[in-house]
Amino acid sequence: MVIGPSEALPSLRERLDSGVELHTFTEAEALEALDHIIRTKPRIVALETDFSSTSRGTALINRIKDDPSLIDCEVRVVAHDTAVNRLAVRRSSGRVAAAVVTVVDEPQKPLDQTGTRRATRVRVREGVEVLVDGYSAALVDISSLGVQVLSQKMLKPNQRVRLSLPEGKTAIRCSGSIAWASFEMPKGLPPRYRAGIELTNTDPAAVNGYAAKHKKT
């Protein structure tokens, strides 16, 4: 299987051995590619190098890596304009398993996990839903300066958003911007976006009260 930008697929096909059966998917068809991988368990999955470092490429690699049923699936990162394949392996149960690429960047971590936190981040209990631009999102953690959410709706870094924290018949309303975002393909769950939102124009006391009320115990 080969996955990458549509304009790079012809050269990527030429890089692999002739005579083998190849299935190609564009980078926009990552979900279709994952479905095909799960169903057919191909021996090799080749990703174009630029695609492999995108959020969708990273999510796809992590999804394959974390699925025990795909342990024999070899993942390669291939540059369409050079003769080098970058390849690495992981170990499972004390033996070398199928190759899983480790050369791509890890998804960016939430800003509050690196450096010094400016406000205490509170982990909330499961099932707390908030609204981001009118769309429902699961709240992961919260502080007076920011929140982390899981959303089915696409979220992009630097995107300006409106946030609503429901409180009975009322709501705490804030504005903010997406500080970081990553695309995930968790096993058994729909694809989603994990994002950190830096809050602006908000009432810190009200947000802290909301955090205390919904804190995970």
pTM: 0.60
Query: Which one, of 199, 203, 174, 175, lies nearest residue 118 by Cα?
Result: 199
Q: Is the pLDDT of residue 61 over 60?
A: yes
- Predicted confidence at residue 107, as pLDDT, reads 39
Greatest distance between any 2 Cα atoms in the chain: 66
For residues 178 and 213, give the distance between their C-alpha atoms in angstroms, rounded to a whole number: 24
pLDDT per residue as tens digits for the range 182-201: 888 888 888 999 999 999 88
Query: Which one, of 165, 199, 154, lies nearest residue 179 by Cα?
Result: 199
Give residue 58's Cα distance to chain centre: 7
pLDDT per residue as tens digits for the range 17-30: 556 678 888 888 88
- Predicted confidence at residue 142, as pLDDT, reads 94
For residues 143 and 206, give the distance between their C-alpha atoms in angstroms, rounded to a whole number: 11
Q: Which residue has the higher pLDDT, 132 or 28?
A: 132
pLDDT per residue as tens digits for the range 29-48: 888 889 899 989 988 888 88
Q: Which residue has the higher pLDDT, 54 or 112?
A: 54
Q: Where in 32-99 does DSSP place strands (E)?
A: 44-48, 74-78, 85-86, 89-92, 95-99
Could you tell me which CATH number the domain at 111-214 has?
Answer: 2.40.10.220
Q: Give the mean model confidence (pLDDT) for residues 132-144.
A: 94
Question: Could you tell me the residue ranges of all domains in the chain?
Answer: 2-99, 111-214
Q: Which residue has the higher pLDDT, 163 or 71?
A: 163
Q: Is the pLDDT of residue 123 over 60?
A: yes
